[in-house]
Chains A and B, each alone.
Chain A
Amino acid sequence: MSVHVAPLKTYIYVFLALMFFTVLTVGVAFVNFAHHAPKGIGNVLNDAVAMSIALTKAVLVVAFFMHVKGSTKITPVVIWGTLIFMVILFVFTGADYLTRPMTTFVPVMSQ
């Protein structure tokens, strides 16, 4: 049954790639992308870069360490399915926050 055993060096390469991205994400965290981008999207650019790197790393782990590539058809369905519902949670809640004016407001609490 030992069908899906990947060669040792695959693991090592993936690990090295993960290390590379880790160092990269720390490095770019200190670069202010807003200086290089049109106003408006500049603020979120750093976040977007950091999250893209994290996503890439996650994909590497899932694909190689967790053997999604060698597993049955249903595994990607489970993963994508879950992600879709995460997106629903974020998008719908976010929609509320984005479309209501959120001036902060620290209430006087009696107690």
Chain B
Amino acid sequence: MTSQHESAPALPEKHYLSGAWSPQDWLLTKDHKRIGILYLVGISIFFALGGLMAVLIRMELATPSGDLMPADVYNRVFTMHGVLMVFFFLIPSIPAVLGNFLLPIMIGAKDLAFPKINLLSWYIYMIGGAMTFYGLLVGGIDTGWTFYTPLSSGYATGPVLTVAVGVFIAGFSSILTGLNFIVTIHRMRAPGLTWFRLPLFVWGHYATSIIQILGTPVVAITILLVGAERLFHIGVFDPKIGGDPILFQHLFWFYSHPAVYIMILPSMGVVSEIIAAFSRKKVFGYKFVAFASIGIAVLGFLVWGHHMFTSGQSLYAGAVFSFITMLVAVPSAIKVFNWTATLYKGAIAWDTPLLYALGFIGLFTIGGLTGVMLGTLGFDLHVHDTYFVVAHFHYVMVGGAILGFLGGLHYWWPKITGKLYNEFWSKISAGIIFIGFNLTFFPQFILGYLGMPRRYHSYPEEFQVLNILSSAGASILGIGFVIPVIYLLASLANKRYAGNNPWGAVGLEWQIPSPPPTENFETPPVVTDEPYTYPQPDEKEAPVGV
């Protein structure tokens, strides 16, 4: 990226970061942009914690015998890894950081509809996080992130209640964010910004919000019931009084399957933006991609039973869930194909965000295809609860969602901070992450097919070679994740300003200064164009690329 030849852009005089910096100016801010930054701090902490747990997991699994830590410590480690990564990192990652920051700007609004609630949701998130962190400090819990009863309600040791309540609380942060987004998208769009002129990023978040509103409360009440059962030693799922543990699984997955789309849909939105910007083309099949988001959100609510094929769920229910699982893969396929088609005859600039987006497409495809395999009844009977599943979901969550998040972070970093990061290191680290990731998780597919169960602290010796590969990959991957932290932070001290539109991208967010002023727009914008309309070749436009 070499956009610095024109009159060197200067930092605007007044912007959302230039205001007062006393603690209450941040901690009581109602500016969606500052709240986005607060969230960024929050999720980074939890990602680092979760990553630390991942490192411990991989160290333990380097040898077959459970020699590094006792079994119950290992169990706590992977449980906390899952809980932190899912509820405190990945679910809020893109919506609460990038969505918060960009969604109002992209639709030409001054803020989200309910700024106070937005701030409240951050506090709720942090309180939930603090409780969970406290739970971690006093030893962590060993229920698995899925909290299956009766293990979680009666048998597991540790501060299950604390962590469960932490997750319960954090759930409401997610709900409130979704609520805010829905109202904002419905009510705050700039004049002329019709639904089909919305960036796909906004569509992705709209779909995500639907899931947050309709799914999260169900898991909240479920977790509450588990907590009550633990507290009073008798409860709704308790088999001793005729309660059915499988009902817990229904309720849990009613949320937790759609929740995986909370993780991926925003990421898909980011990828759509990046692909369009870096190939300077309208996203191919814009409407198909937009509706695919909604399709995923709705169909995503109809497939949860594919996590329960071995549980004793009825055959008929299993068959229905399996078939609809195939249906839900279709909108994802539509997106993948449309992104690929967008690249066709584009003018593609190999900047770091694009590298992440391409990585996303490839790795999400692998993750998704293995998901389809898992959705196939006869096959799942073998690989359920083995490392095949672990590999599947890391491919979609790390290879998919996180790469999307990193891509978005790099893409909008100049907008958020007004600074450019180091181009060289960013490309190097993207490469390291790609290699490390595949080395970590590809061997796990094989392990799973060989039959290595997940959540195993020790394992038979014949699995060791693949496990060593995986552990080696994880250390590479870990390095790959640390480098961006360094150069992104370093860029803040950078004297080079990014300018309003370093990528030559279209979209409302690129028409305002970087970093944006507190009110976003001096004059309310009026939208007259379709999204992603790139000017035709001969017009001399923003100089970027190569």
* A residues apposed to B, CB below 8 Å: 74, 81-82, 85, 88-89, 92-93, 95-100, 104, 106-107, 109, 111
Other-chain residue from B155, B210, B301, B320 in contact with A95 (beta carbon distance below 8 A):
B320
Select from chain B the residue with minimum beta-carbon distance to A93: B250
Contact A107 B254 (CB under 8 A): no
Contact B250 A96 (CB under 8 A): yes
Contact A89 B254 (CB under 8 A): yes
Question: In the complex the two chains form, what is the Cα distance from A88 to B218 in whole Å?
Answer: 13
Select from chain A the residue with minimum beta-carbon distance to B313: A96
Contact B316 A95 (CB under 8 A): yes
* B residues apposed to A, CB below 8 Å: 150, 154-155, 186, 210, 214, 218, 239-242, 246-247, 250-251, 254, 301-302, 304-305, 312-317, 320-321
CB-CB < 8 A to A92: which residues of B?
A: 250, 302, 304-305, 317, 320-321
7 pairs of residues in contact across A and B, judged by CB atoms under 8 Å: A88-B301, A88-B302, A95-B317, A99-B314, A100-B312, A104-B242, A107-B240
CB-CB < 8 A to B251: which residues of A?
A: 93
Return B251 CB to nearest CB of chain A, in Å: 8
CB-CB < 8 A to A98: which residues of B?
A: 314
Question: In the complex the two chains form, what is the Cα distance from A92 to B324 in whole Å?
Answer: 12
Other-chain residue from A81, A82, A99, A109 in contact with B240 (beta carbon distance below 8 A):
A109
Question: In the complex the two chains form, what is the Cα distance from A39 to B210 in whole Å?
Answer: 42
Other A-B pairs beyond A81-B210, A100-B315, A111-B154, 10, CB < 8 Å: A85-B214, A85-B301, A89-B218, A92-B317, A95-B316, A96-B250, A96-B313, A96-B314, A98-B314, A107-B239
Interface residues of B, dominant DSSP: helix
Select from chain A the residue with minimum beta-carbon distance to B316: A99
With A85-B214, A93-B247 in contact, is A100–B314 under 8 Å at CB?
Answer: yes
Contact B214 A74 (CB under 8 A): no
With A104-B242, A106-B239 in contact, is A99–B155 under 8 Å at CB?
Answer: no
Return A79 CB to nearest CB of chain B, in Å: 13
Contact B302 A109 (CB under 8 A): no
Contact B218 A100 (CB under 8 A): no
Question: In the complex the two chains form, what is the Cα distance from A97 to B308 in whole Å?
Answer: 13
Question: In the complex the two chains form, what is the Cα distance from A65 to B482 in whole Å?
Answer: 56
CB-CB < 8 A to A111: which residues of B?
A: 154-155
6 nearest interchain CB pairs?
A100-B314, A96-B317, A99-B314, A99-B316, A93-B250, A85-B214
Select from chain B the residue with minimum beta-carbon distance to A74: B186
Question: In the complex the two chains form, what is the Cα distance from A93 to B313 in whole Å?
Answer: 10
Return A66 CB to nearest CB of chain B, in Å: 17
Select from chain A the residue with minimum beta-carbon distance to B303: A92
CB-CB < 8 A to B302: which residues of A?
A: 88, 92
Question: In the complex the two chains form, what is the Cα distance from A100 to B321 in whole Å?
Answer: 15
CB-CB < 8 A to B154: which residues of A?
A: 111
Question: In the complex the two chains form, what is the Cα distance from A49 to B154 in whole Å?
Answer: 39
Question: In the complex the two chains form, what is the Cα distance from A107 to B518 in whole Å?
Answer: 62
With A85-B301, A88-B301, A107-B239 in contact, is A99–B218 under 8 Å at CB?
Answer: no
Select from chain B the residue with minimum beta-carbon distance to A89: B254
Contact B313 A100 (CB under 8 A): yes
Question: In the complex the two chains form, what is the Cα distance from A78 to B314 in whole Å?
Answer: 32
CB-CB < 8 A to B186: which residues of A?
A: 74
Select from chain B the residue with minimum beta-carbon distance to A85: B214
Return A98 CB to nearest CB of chain B, in Å: 8
Question: In the complex the two chains form, what is the Cα distance from A104 to B240 in whole Å?
Answer: 11
Contact A106 B242 (CB under 8 A): yes
CB-CB < 8 A to A93: which residues of B?
A: 247, 250-251, 254
Return A74 CB to nearest CB of chain B, in Å: 6
Contact B214 A82 (CB under 8 A): yes
Question: In the complex the two chains form, what is the Cα distance from A51 to B305 in whole Å?
Answer: 28
CB-CB < 8 A to B155: which residues of A?
A: 111
Question: In the complex the two chains form, what is the Cα distance from A89 to B210 in whole Å?
Answer: 15
CB-CB < 8 A to A107: which residues of B?
A: 239-240
Select from chain B the residue with minimum beta-carbon distance to A107: B239
Return B83 CB to nearest CB of chain A, in Å: 24
Question: In the complex the two chains form, what is the Cα distance from A82 to B150 in whole Å?
Answer: 30
Question: In the complex the two chains form, what is the Cα distance from A92 to B321 in whole Å?
Answer: 9
Question: In the complex the two chains form, what is the Cα distance from A85 to B251 in whole Å?
Answer: 13
With A96-B313, A99-B314 in contact, is A106–B240 under 8 Å at CB?
Answer: yes
CB-CB < 8 A to B254: which residues of A?
A: 89, 93
CB-CB < 8 A to A106: which residues of B?
A: 239-242
Return B481 CB to nearest CB of chain A, in Å: 36
Return B346 CB to nearest CB of chain A, in Å: 37
CB-CB < 8 A to A74: which residues of B?
A: 186
Question: In the complex the two chains form, what is the Cα distance from A13 to B97 in whole Å?
Answer: 50
Return A71 CB to nearest CB of chain B, in Å: 13
CB-CB < 8 A to B210: which residues of A?
A: 81
Return B460 CB to nearest CB of chain A, in Å: 28
Question: In the complex the two chains form, what is the Cα distance from A93 to B308 in whole Å?
Answer: 12
CB-CB < 8 A to A97: which residues of B?
A: 314
